[in-house]
Structure 1
Amino acid sequence: MKCGADYEGKSPYYLRQGVLDRVIQAQERLQQLHPDWQIQIFDAYRPVEVQQYMVDYTFRQVVADRNLDLDKLSALETEKIFQDVYKIWAIPSFDLETPPPHSTGAAIDITIVDKHGKPIEMGSPIDEMSDRSLPEYFAKSEDPVARKYHHNRQLLCQVMTYAGFHRHPDEWWHFSIGDQLWAWLNNKSDPQHPIPAYYGRAI
């Protein structure tokens, strides 16, 4: 599996049926706009154990990329790196009340591919730890290429929002429906009509 993570026989593409139905709805909307384009699933279900693995893996990768010595990190340096890691990877909580989004079977990392199966340009790869991952990063750019990136991100958001999903505020590729993040985003935008999450941790 991804980066060697052990899913213990579970599929990383598992989604709850209600979520899958909405993905199909989003795909149908995309095809109305671009008949030859498709939504490509990069990642979906992630057991909490895999979430922990990816946090630890990314932490070690950041340490290596920054030419740091893992055994000589101070507590402050360690905390700062974890803060950066948690911008991309949710805290791997085993508390059933606060599951990581991907551990609910209701969150999905996606992009769009063209008729040749090639991903359209979004300006940064999925899971990149930089400001380029922010959905609106290219919104104010005057550069034609950057404007195209923004347009493509907006298209992805448009078709997913059409199907009822909410986009992660810090990740252009992450969408969910029915989980705690989705409920929080919904209630933030419509505080007069709060709704609870209806998907918890998938066990």
Structure 2
Amino acid sequence: MIKVTECETPPDMVTFAESDRLFLNPLETDDWRIRRVVRDKVVACAEALPDGLCLMVFEAFRSRARQWELWNPVVADITKNNPGWSEAKVYTESSRWVSPPDGFGSGHQAGAAVDLKLARADRTELEFGGLMKGLSGVAPTNWPVSPEIRANRDQLVAAMHGVGMVNYPDEWWHFSYGDRLWAEVTNRDEAFFAPID
């Protein structure tokens, strides 16, 4: 079990700002708050990309209320499509697609996670396969996809790993630093960012 101990009191939250290498896509949110260290890593990643490529951020901090808004429809959909499943099995499967808002919540609730993808300087998004946030088989980062999509996913993961962030394997777009997922992937016993609200 990974221990979660908040290391910032109060949390050092800042706001993402657009630049010529970092775009904000308001499709999911207009709340661009994130922990300063995470913002700095994302900005460093964007600045290190090859000329003509940029990062496009879709979501950063997420309140517990917003996490419930995402969680409840997923649970309802999985329950409807699998009427014979136990509550525990529905919970486990739902947790693959959206972090449960209870307990330690998601990296987004800690201000430690960001959903993003690569784009061109003209804001054209690169192809990554399937819908971002879609409950589909192609969402896992290592799912078999076309060579173009594989190259785009691999480039994004390598760039984010290069600044110390980790990818959630079931969502090619989700990266975090300092939360429970990061601690698990980096084989640490403790995460240092806890949910904020």
1:13 touches 1:43 (CA, 8 Å); kept in 2? yes
1:84 touches 1:129 (CA, 8 Å); kept in 2? no
SS state at 2:186 partner: helix
TM-score (norm 1): 0.75
2:142 touches 2:169 (CA, 8 Å); kept in 1? no
1:120 touches 1:152 (CA, 8 Å); kept in 2? yes
Stretches of structure 2 that go unaligned for 5 or more consecutive residues are 1-25
Equivalent residue, structure 1, for 2:106 = 100
CA deviation map 1:15-35 (0-9, x unaligned): 1111100001110111xx2x1
Equivalent residue, structure 2, for 1:130 = 136
Partners of 1:58 and 1:170 in 2: CA distance: 15
How far 1:124 sits from its partner (Å)? Answer: 1.6
How well do the aligned residues superpose, as a CA RMSD in angstroms?
2.5
Amino acid at match of 1:172: W
SS state at 1:135 partner: coil
1:109 touches 1:173 (CA, 8 Å); kept in 2? yes
2:27 touches 2:58 (CA, 8 Å); kept in 1? no
Amino acid at match of 1:21: D
Equivalent residue, structure 2, for 1:20 = 39
Equivalent residue, structure 2, for 1:46 = 62
Between the two proteins, what is the percent identity of the paired residues? 23
How far 1:82 sits from its partner (Å)? Answer: 4.3
Partners of 2:74 and 2:31 in 1: CA distance: 18
Q: Find the partner of 1:118 among 119, 124, 140.
A: 124
Count of paired positions: 172
SS state at 1:134 partner: coil
Higher RCO (CA < 8 A, seq sep 6+) = 2
Amino acid at match of 1:167: N
Amino acid at match of 2:57: I
Structure with higher Rg: it is 1
Stretches of structure 1 that go unaligned for 5 or more consecutive residues are 188-193
Equivalent residue, structure 2, for 1:166 = 166
